[in-house]
Structure 1
């Protein structure tokens, strides 16, 4: 849109250029056009426009970026410069609960698609001068703005430089979300394990900033990226720090146990039934053998069939409306499982194994880590089908070696186990009392390791 008008003060011709749909028309009319057309002022001095941000620009590229970014540009006849006016205005989603990361005792608010609003949420938690915000623009066509938030006196300068370098090296038309950004900057793109945390919870992002990590906030993305991370971080929930430490430690151990069950239970079933049945108690083995008398498939084919069916149902439930999706997931699982047993396609014990595996995978608090477990379940079953318990051991050792070799922005992924750091174990598999966790994790390369003094109320 080009709105031509005449400035009342000296009669100069002017034009206001903006894109309809990206600007607030009421703001333009009342706070830009009306003062310029009806007020007497000296055009050589400050403009009588009551806006918070007015910037002088003098190149066509700056004018283009301003207009496509939602600002208005004021052009005055015979002037060699233009004025960039902050008149952004488009439909926005209100702050709502983080629906994908439910917390019983955490804050009931989640990030939105507005970058400035997300930064403001974090600043409300950390109103400190050391909270630094650095902005980077990526995307040849999208001109997407990314803000990196961190504590300047705590976070590692080397890790910051590495993160900035990787983002600056991206040359692409557009980056639409932090999920896409991850694929451009992660250390090992061929690993199934996530190397960065994506969250839509401000309180979780703040807790990682206080530990010396970095948070990237992007335009149009309702979640933020947390880096660097380690394997343990994906099993730490927001509720852990609002619950008594003994309860939180028990729940965290349950998550790690569920990780092992979700990864190895189907493979263990295949190994014990196909190769190492001698380790199964006789009564249990006879019960399993009786339930498999009508099953025409081998144990590995039976397990693969049920796991693929489960993943198909899970994916289908995600693509349909939420109330119907939950019904399909529960009722569909019951109906298909019962029908499969009655038809002799699978055994009763296989239904139990699949059900326990599915429930265990839901215990993992991070979706990306849960997805990695569901993917790795299949090669583990194939290894068990080929080599039995030996295949399980090979798969386990390969998994451990892979996790130890991973890095996140150049920092070890396996810390505090590899390399071993005893001080960091206070908030790893167990969660010690908060007053006992005096130091920040060393794996982040933090400058300032002490985050709290000694508590005189505790001994």
Structure 2
């Protein structure tokens, strides 16, 4: 390619030579010349719909003499004219489009004949719902945007597109409602995405790490979702939804800490049932973090707090275990984490067997071998169940991680260690921000839909003025 210019030349042969030099390791690059015209059609065979290209482009162009001004009337496909920058042309070819180059013209014509392989819309695998939609995002950003538009039929739904300047050249789309979303947060979000300085971004999870305020925190500051209705719900609340090309997940920001304990089904259940489930989730949060640590502190330090009969039962089982409570808990926690990871990676038919049978067999064998006590099996199993209740997988992972330092603090200082650990944890959560906004805002409007939710007619009024109250 001519290194002295970034635009097309008027010589067709030089333009074709430049393309060949750029795609020298691309055997599926096809260049079709026209006998009745000094022009050539360039495309990647693996990314184009060859049948569509043959019937709708090649046949009309071969069958008659034509001028560049007549292309729009000859070919009924979507076309884009006047493109003369090499970067845009190469990007179009890599997206599955075909490029028409003409002798004596320093511009090109682009036809959209892409044929990207993608799966059909299916039910989300990680975010099950009872009364909500059963549609999930797929690996096509245009289809994902269309799914969101099904829920928000509003001309104020804005879509800002940013092309990442890296090896993948992915397109990132930001969706929000004009007049409701915070314009300052939008500016900050776009600035963070445009300033990403990494070689490649393939998945939305990578994008999340690059735009979060505190990447080293165990707690997420954005929500990953594969549900269009969840994304639409957050857009209507004044938040931003970020869709990365070729990813089946969308990113939601800014969010609050409470958002990770909410589920789209909460708004489809009766208000009493919804509030009861939310209370259970918050109880599960504390159980998953504190139960093993609390057990360790009672057994190792503060056994005077345990009723005598229960203490005798614990002592009976503990007398056969050679390890201190911390080591006992770590053995079982690590074993359960290994089982959980194995059940995720294995095929679904095998994973269910591994998860259920493995837990029973390992737990029973560990008790019989005297490695752990029966009480520890109950504690670890209850903790695992509590962590699974959290609807957001990133938050659930953070809880499982925090459990280990809490256990260490309990083994060193007992109840005092747990108190110190919780104070440190709360201080850290209060310091977190999501796109520059506090993740734990002290606003009255936020409390209308937090631990408990008010009736919908009370909540919806808040969203109309979300922009002024942020």
TM-score (norm. length: structure 1): 0.93
SS at match of 2:246: coil
Aligned position for 2:185: 159
1:145-198 deviation per Cα after TM superposition (whole angstroms, max 9, x unaligned): 000000011100000000001011112221111100111111011110000000
In the alignment, the residues of structure 1 paired with residue 448 and residue 93 of structure 2 have an alpha-carbon distance, to the nearest angstrom, of 51
Aligned to 1:308: 334
Matched, 1:29 2:54: yes
Q: 1:90 is paired with a residue of what secondary structure?
A: coil
Match in the other structure for 2:225: 199
> In 2, distance between residues paired with 1:263 and 1:44?
69
Deviation of the 1:40 alpha carbon: 5.0
Which has the larger displacement, 42-51 or 316-325? 42-51
What pairs up with 1:64-213 in 2 under 5 angstroms?
64-213=90-239
Mapped partners of 2:402, 2:308: distance in 1: 31
Instruction: Tell me which residue corresponds to 2:42.
Output: 17
Aligned equivalents of 1:43 and 1:295: distance in 2? 85
Which residue matches 2:375? 349
1:244 aligns with 2:270: yes
SS in 1 for 2:81: strand
The alpha-carbon deviation at position 427 of structure 1 amounts to 0.5
CA–CA distance in 1 between the matches of 2:211 and 2:428?
A: 19
Higher helix share: 2
Which residue pairs with 1:229 in the alignment?
A: 255
Structure 1 contact 122–206 (Cα < 8 Å) conserved: yes
1:433 has 2:461 as partner: no
Partner-residue secondary structure (3-state), 1:45: helix
Alignment size in residue pairs: 441
Q: How far has the Cα of 1:448 moved from its partner? A: 5.6
Q: 1:262 and 1:64 mapped to 2: Cα distance? A: 51
Deviation at 1:430? 0.4
1:447 aligned to 2:470?
A: no
Aligned to 1:422: 444
Tell me which residue corresponds to 1:358. Answer: 384
Question: What is residue 11 of structure 2 aligned with on the other side?
Answer: none
Q: Is the CA contact (8 Å cut-off) linking 2:83 and 2:107 kept in structure 1?
A: yes
Give 1:63 deviation, angstroms: 1.5
Alignment partners' CA distance in 1, 2:195 and 2:85? 25
Cα distance in structure 2, aligned partners of 1:343 and 1:437: 55
In structure 2, relative to structure 1, the CA distance for the partners of 1:139 and 1:314 (3 Å cut) is farther
| Aligned twin of 2:13 | none
Gaps of 5+ in 1: 451-459
Q: Secondary structure at the match of 2:77?
A: coil
Whole-angstrom CA distance in 2 between matches of 1:296 and 1:54: 75
Measured in 2, the distance between the counterparts of 1:46 and 1:126 equals: 36
Cα distance in 2 for residues equivalent to 1:43 and 1:65: 22
Partner Cα separation in structure 2 for residue 73 and residue 60 of structure 1: 11
SS in 2 for 1:73: strand
Kept in 2: contact 1:5–1:37 (CA 8 A): no
CA RMSD in angstroms, aligned pairs only: 1.5
Q: Secondary structure, in 3 states, of the residue corresponding to 1:217?
A: strand
Corresponding position: 1:390 with 2:416 = yes
Q: Is the 8 A contact 1:154 1:449 kept in 2?
A: no
- Mapped to 2, the partners of 1:218 and 1:266 lie a distance apart of 39
- CA distance in 2 between partners of 1:214 and 1:107 (Å): 21
Deviation at 1:65, TM superposition (A): 1.4
Q: Which residue of 2 aligns with 1:58?
A: 84
Query: Aligned equivalents of 1:359 and 1:15: distance in 2?
Result: 63
Give structure 1 regions of 4+ aligned residues with deviation exceeding 4 angstroms. none
| Aligned residue in 1 for 2:301 | 275
Distance 1:247 1:174 in 2: 45
1:4 alignment counterpart: 32
Q: Distance in 2 between matches of 1:346 and 1:190?
A: 33
Correspondent of 1:263 among 278, 289, 296? 289
8 Å Cα contact 1:55/1:85 also seen in 2: no
Q: CA deviation at 1:52?
A: 2.3
Residues 88-123 of structure 1 show CA distances to partners (whole Å, capped at 9, x for unaligned) of 102211000001100011101100000000001111
Partners of 2:140 and 2:209 lie apart in 1 by 22
State the shift of 1:389 in Å.
Answer: 0.1
Question: What is the CA–CA distance in structure 2 between the aligned matches of 1:363 and 1:447, rounded to whole Å?
Answer: 32
